[in-house]
Amino acid sequence: MKLYYSPGACSLGIHVILQEIGKPFEAVPTLLKEGAQNKPEFQALNPKGKVPTLQRDDGSVLTEWPAIAFWLAASNPDAKLWPEGIEAQARAYEVMDYVCGTIHPQGFTRLFNQARFAPSETDHPKVIEQGRGIAEKGFAVLDKRWAGQDWVLPSGYSVADAAVFFVSYWAAKRMNMTLPPRIAAHFERMMARPAVQRALAAEGLSA
């Protein structure tokens, strides 16, 4: 398998999942800041032009964070990263979708790339304000609806934790945001996991 990633991007969460599974894979840097996602060779692999992108052993390509996370967890049941039971599975999807569909693209993308939302630089402070507000609200919602104990789901550690982790990492390490209590405690527990430490080290990120 090959994981196409950009250091510190949302692909970090998938990198963590792969480290948790523990099977061999190749991590292929795809530097978004240098426009690697727009080059012909990557476009041929994933015309969406984004990471994470997973090329499986049979050569087929899987895209989109929740789909990749589900496939990895479901195809590696021994790792116990996918919960049992319809309710827990629905809750895992719920968390992943909220992170990948709202907190990341609506919140943090405004913080990282204001020009995407407002061509005029004079409007960028407003975009940043909006992005921070969306991200903070997202974390507050997750914190208020926290149903588990140490981990997101009552059933235990899962791919949903890796989803919450990558946005928490951005908040704590890149944006100096104060996380709500449950999210902050979860972040510290995630940072202590060997799989997380290995993924961070592989991407050259601070632990």
Q: Which amino acid type is present at position 39?
A: K
The alpha carbons of the chain give a radius of gyration, in whole angstroms, of: 17
Contact at 8 Å (CB) between 51 and 31?
no
pLDDT tens digits, 59-68: 999 999 999 9
CATH class for the domain made up of 86-193: mainly alpha
pLDDT tens digits, 159-204: 999 999 999 999 999 999 999 999 999 999 999 999 999 999 999 9
Helix ranges restricted to H, the chain: 11-21, 40-45, 65-74, 86-98, 109-112, 124-144, 159-169, 181-192, 194-203
Give me the tens of pLDDT residue by residue for the chain, a chain 207 residues long.
999 999 999 999 999 999 999 999 999 999 999 999 999 999 999 999 999 999 999 999 999 999 999 999 999 999 999 999 999 999 999 999 999 999 999 999 999 999 999 999 999 999 999 999 999 999 999 999 999 899 999 999 999 999 999 999 999 999 999 999 999 999 999 999 999 999 999 999 988
The rounded distance, in Å, linking the Cα atoms of 111 and 129 is 8
User: 2-79 has which fold?
Assistant: Glutaredoxin (3.40.30)
> Computed from CA positions of residues 54, 57, 61, 62, in that sequence, does the dihedral angle turn out positive or negative?
negative
Sequence ranges of the domains in the chain: 2-79, 86-193
The rounded distance, in Å, linking the Cα atoms of 200 and 112 is 20
Q: What is the pLDDT of residue 89?
A: 98
Find all residues with CB under 8 Å of 124, minimum gap 6, and list them.
114, 115, 118
Q: What is the pLDDT of residue 206?
A: 84
